[in-house]
Amino acid sequence: MIKTRSAYTKQIKQLDGHVSVIGQAVVEDIENTAKAIGDGNKDAAQETIDGHDSFERLHRNVEDTCMTLMLLQQPMASDLRLVTASFRAISDLARIDEMAYETALLTEEIDLTVPKELADLLVSMADKAATMVRQAVVSFGNGDVADAEKVFEEDDALDALYEQVRVKVIEYLKNGTESATAAPEFLSVAKYFERMGDHAQSVADWSIFRATGSYRGRTMGEND
């Protein structure tokens, strides 16, 4: 339990680092799902599954740190923005990681490497989602609002990929081919990646809030 001001300053700096570590772990887990789907790399999927518990512990520890800082130190100004933005951003990152974990589990149960045209689309979605999360996390750390804004621009491409998957899945279901049996799972995974993009946007939004005190077009205190 921290009490003195110097310990507080140290913990604030550590918090910044922890968000970055969590963000990197999430990006790696998304990339692992891409490897599992694209190359049938079971080891990659297993890595994400094995790391899930320790990720959860880290996520909870950072949440506890934020709560403790708010309770005992009542941070203000840029510290307040860091603590509140971290608290929200790691929640988004945890949701993304949960979806990567679920996807990894699915690849253990079902072969998502065929049909290849669907697998390729999912890999493209995973790559896009990983890029968005990476950009959002980097902008969270360096306060670069322009970088954070790029995350929002990327989301349309991810949505377009999801739409392509959806259309293909419907085709497979209509044709009733052998591949149709795994079609619902392909659509579920595509939906996971599409939602990862939404959460990445949310992280980018918290990056902007951390840097500027504004979020979703509104500045704290402007209604007072």
Partner 1 sequence: MAESMSVKDLNLYYGDHQALKDITLDMPAGKVTAFIGPSGCGKSTLLRCLNRMNDRIEGCRVEGTVKLGDTDVYENYDVYELRRRVGMVFQKPNPFPLSIYDNVAYGPRHHGKPSKAELDQIVETTLTDVGLWDEVKDKLDHSGLSLSGGQAQRLCIARALAVNPGVLLMDEPTSALDPISTGLVEELAVKVAKEHTVIIVTHNMQQATRISTKCAFFYLGELVEAAPTAQLFSTPKDKRTEDYLTGRFG
Residue 149 binding partner 1, by CB under 8 A: no
* 33-51 core/surface letters (b: 16 or more CB in 10 A; e: else): bbbbbbeebeebbebbbeb
Residues in region 4-33 near partner 1 by CB under 8 A: 5, 8-9
Residue 76 binding partner 1, by CB under 8 A: yes
Number of residues near partner 1 (by CB under 8 A): 19
Residue 146 binding partner 1, by CB under 8 A: no
The single residue among 28, 47, 79, 144 that binds partner 1, judged by CB under 8 A, is 79
The least distance separating partner 1 from the CB of residue 141, rounded to whole angstroms, comes to 18
Residue 216 binding partner 1, by CB under 8 A: no
Give residue 167's identity as a one-letter amino acid code. V
* 153-175 core/surface letters (b: 16 or more CB in 10 A; e: else): ebbeebeebbebbeebbeebeee
- Tell me if residue 213 falls in helix, strand or coil: coil
Question: 81 or 199: whose CB is closer to partner 1?
Answer: 81
Q: In which element (H, E) is residue 215 found?
A: strand 214-215
The least distance separating partner 1 from the CB of residue 12, rounded to whole angstroms, comes to 8
The least distance separating partner 1 from the CB of residue 3, rounded to whole angstroms, comes to 13
Residue 128 binding partner 1, by CB under 8 A: no
* CB distance 213 to 207 below 8 Å: no
* CB distance 62 to 92 below 8 Å: no
The least distance separating partner 1 from the CB of residue 78, rounded to whole angstroms, comes to 6
Binding site for partner 1 (CB under 8 A): 5, 8-9, 74-81, 212-214, 219-222, 224
